[in-house]
Amino acid sequence: MTTMDTNYRLGIVDELQERRHRLASIRPRPSPRFLPTPRPAPQKPEPKADPTPLNSSTILRYVADNFDVTVDNLLEAGRLKRVSRARFAAYWLVRQLLGYSFPDTAYCLGKKDHTSSIHGVARAIHLHLTDDRWRQQYERAKRACLAHQSGSHPPLGEPDAAGEPCPKHAPGGTP
């Protein structure tokens, strides 16, 4: 490397350092009143009573109770009108409350194909819009599921506020 190249490179380095110095003096420095204040350590929230987790089998039990069928009826391949309509409600509730995909929803009800749950949800929406009796049964099942999830409904087989076990959910009772 020649002396001229070295001087040239040193000149560029000097020029870059001068620019940095100039820019540093131009940038406004934060005044003490605008300096960020240290934040307190985050407070841990008070532990709340854990709501009872909602799962597909619980939804099936509440649907069966409100539509006067058994859980086994919901899971079998029968095509009786009252069982099919209850199954449609179960499809829709599992989709709404658990956020399951169509294949997962079908699997929860013992079906092999996701098109069963697609058809079931479509029929449930249609029945919700056109059949008042079905809508009332569906809303009762949905309210029971939400109460179970929030913990305001006694767990299955546990006594309620009056000290009596919920007759529909007593062990050995109707599913």
Could you tell me the CATH number of the domain that includes residue 104? 1.10.1750.10
Residue-wise over 27-61: b if at least 16 C-beta within 10 A, else e?
eeeeeeeeeeeeeeeeeeeeeeeeebebebebbbb
* 43 located within any domain: no
* 122 located within any domain: yes
What is residue 40's predicted lDDT score, i.e. its pLDDT?
72
Tokens 């009596």 appear where?
Answer: 164
> Residue 112 corresponds to which tokens in the numbers above?
């092999």
Tokens 């006594």 appear where?
Answer: 159
* 129 located within any domain: yes
Summarize pLDDT for 154-163 with one digit per residue, the tens: 555 544 444 4
* 102 located within any domain: yes
Predicted confidence band at 53 (pLDDT cuts at 50, 70, 90)? confident
What is residue 168's predicted lDDT score, i.e. its pLDDT?
40
Collapsed DSSP state (helix, strand, coil) of residue 159: strand
How many other CB atoms sit within 10 Å of the CB of residue 3? 7
Cβ proximity of 70 and 174 under 8 Å: yes
Mean pLDDT, to the nearest integer, of 121-138? 95
* 51 located within any domain: no
What is residue 86's predicted lDDT score, i.e. its pLDDT?
96
Nearest residue to 88 via CA among 70, 100, 105, 112:
105
Number of domains in the chain: 1
Domain holding 115, by residue range, is: 56-156+164-169
* 62 located within any domain: yes
Look up the pTM and report it. 0.61
Cβ proximity of 117 and 74 under 8 Å: no
* 15 located within any domain: no
* 124 located within any domain: yes
> Residue 151 corresponds to which tokens in the numbers above?
């913990």
